[in-house]
A = this chain, B = another copy of it.
Amino acid sequence: MDVLLVGSIAYDSVTSPAGKVEQALGGSATYGGLASAFHTKRLGSGTVGLVGVVGEDFADTDRQTLATHGTDLTGIETAPGETFRWEGAYHGSMAEAETHATHLNVFEHFQPKVPDHAKTPKVTFCANLHPALQASVLDQTKPQRLSMLDSMNLWITIAKEPLLEVMQRVDLLIINDGEVRMLAEDQNLIRAAQTVRSMTNVPTLIVKRGEHGVLAFHGEEIIALPAFPIADVCDPTGCGDTFAGTLAAYIASGEGALERTELRSALVAATVSASFTLQSFGTEALRNMSVDSFNERVAQFEGMLN
């Protein structure tokens, strides 16, 4: 298996200046899984396993969406109750979501179980989820190349200790600029990133900055990239997960120690993939991304940098 990904599967209701959507298929495992599946297929074998939970209300059509795009759903449990739901809104520059409601539902009692055939993936990716659940998936897997972890401000607030513990167990940490500042309790992003690295001893720290791009600290090196400029921003939900899922797929396609040039290619692909997610509500634009449209945008992006 290329990528084993644990995360949320959700129904999202989102309002933005571009309109709104009700109960769209979302969640970190959905966006991350679709992005990983797209890129692992492009780059090689194309096996992405998801671990998560849905409720009895989870639509067959949504299951099929995930399956036909190439994710292995063996690790998705169906539990009594309703699927996780998130409601939120974006205003102004849409830099941050305002959460209106979070209904954990089936996630409240979820215990991830990694299927046997998924226990030695190339990459274990713990997408945003309670740190205890992320730790359980790290316990159950033995990644052949690398383990990576995403998180969110909520866990820094309510579960900082277990979060820092699980962060210390992974090879690559991918969080956003606000979370880096919050963890380090320092408003200077560069200094805060240095602090997070020494708090966690993580070899690679990727700082997602939304519309401002990405900063990666890898060993002694720094990679800085802007975002892909998008005029018709629709909904930022899932952009960070798309970014991380793409990164996981790229890393799964290589061998040995993670090289700088390899990481840069992965970050460019992640930046471009996230720019598609930004252009629709839900997963529509990500699902419709073609290899040609992806390659074209990568060339445009490199053209903007050089």
Whether A190 lies near B229 (C-beta < 8 A) is yes
Query: Could you give, for residues 36-61 of chain A, a 1 whenever the CB lies within 8 Å of some chain B CB and a 0 otherwise?
Result: 00000000000000000000000000
Return A236 CB to nearest CB of chain B, in Å.
Answer: 12
Return A182 CB to nearest CB of chain B, in Å.
Answer: 12
Return A228 CB to nearest CB of chain B, in Å.
Answer: 8
Query: Could you give, for residues 167-204 of chain A, a 1 whenever the CB lies within 8 Å of some chain B CB and a 0 otherwise?
Result: 00000000000000100000111110010000000000
Given A17-B187, A94-B187, A211-B189, is A226 in contact with B224 using a C-beta cutoff of 8 Å?
A: yes
Q: Indicate if A76 sits at the interface (CB-CB under 8 A).
A: no
Chain B residues near A230 (CB-CB < 8 A): 190
Given A213-B213, A215-B229, is A222 in contact with B191 using a C-beta cutoff of 8 Å?
A: no
What class of interface size applies to chain A in its complex with B? 20 to 34
Chain B residues near A224 (CB-CB < 8 A): 213, 226-227, 229, 304-305
Whether A304 lies near B222 (C-beta < 8 A) is yes
Q: Indicate if A209 sits at the interface (CB-CB under 8 A).
A: yes
Query: Could you give, for residues 204-217 of chain A, a 1 whenever the CB lies within 8 Å of some chain B CB and a 0 otherwise?
Result: 00000101110100
Return A240 CB to nearest CB of chain B, in Å.
Answer: 17
Whether B264 lies near A306 (C-beta < 8 A) is yes
Given A213-B226, A215-B226, A226-B226, is A93 in contact with B187 using a C-beta cutoff of 8 Å?
A: yes
Q: Indicate if A233 sits at the interface (CB-CB under 8 A).
A: yes
Q: Indicate if A166 sits at the interface (CB-CB under 8 A).
A: no
Q: Indicate if A291 sits at the interface (CB-CB under 8 A).
A: no
**Complexed CA–CA distance, A213 and B213 (Å):** 9
Whether A93 lies near B188 (C-beta < 8 A) is yes
Chain B residues near A227 (CB-CB < 8 A): 224
Q: Indicate if A89 sits at the interface (CB-CB under 8 A).
A: no
Whether A92 lies near B226 (C-beta < 8 A) is no
Q: Indicate if A257 sits at the interface (CB-CB under 8 A).
A: no
Given A229-B222, A264-B306, A306-B264, is A212 in contact with B215 using a C-beta cutoff of 8 Å?
A: no
Return A195 CB to nearest CB of chain B, in Å.
Answer: 10
**Complexed CA–CA distance, A215 and B211 (Å):** 12
Q: Indicate if A225 sits at the interface (CB-CB under 8 A).
A: yes
In the complex, the chain B residue whose C-beta lies closest to that of A301 is B224
Whether B305 lies near A191 (C-beta < 8 A) is no
Given A212-B209, A212-B212, A212-B213, is A305 in contact with B190 using a C-beta cutoff of 8 Å?
A: no
- Known contacts A17-B187, A194-B231, A215-B226; 18 additional CB pairs below 8 A are A92-B187, A93-B187, A93-B188, A188-B233, A189-B211, A189-B229, A191-B231, A209-B212, A212-B213, A213-B213, A221-B303, A221-B304, A222-B229, A223-B304, A223-B305, A224-B226, A224-B304, A264-B306
**Ordered nearest first, which 6 A-B pairs have the shortest CB separation?**
A212-B212, A224-B226, A190-B231, A92-B187, A93-B187, A224-B304
Q: Point out residues on A near B: beta carbons under 8 Å.
A: 17, 92-94, 181, 187-191, 194, 209, 211-213, 215, 221-227, 229-233, 264, 303-306
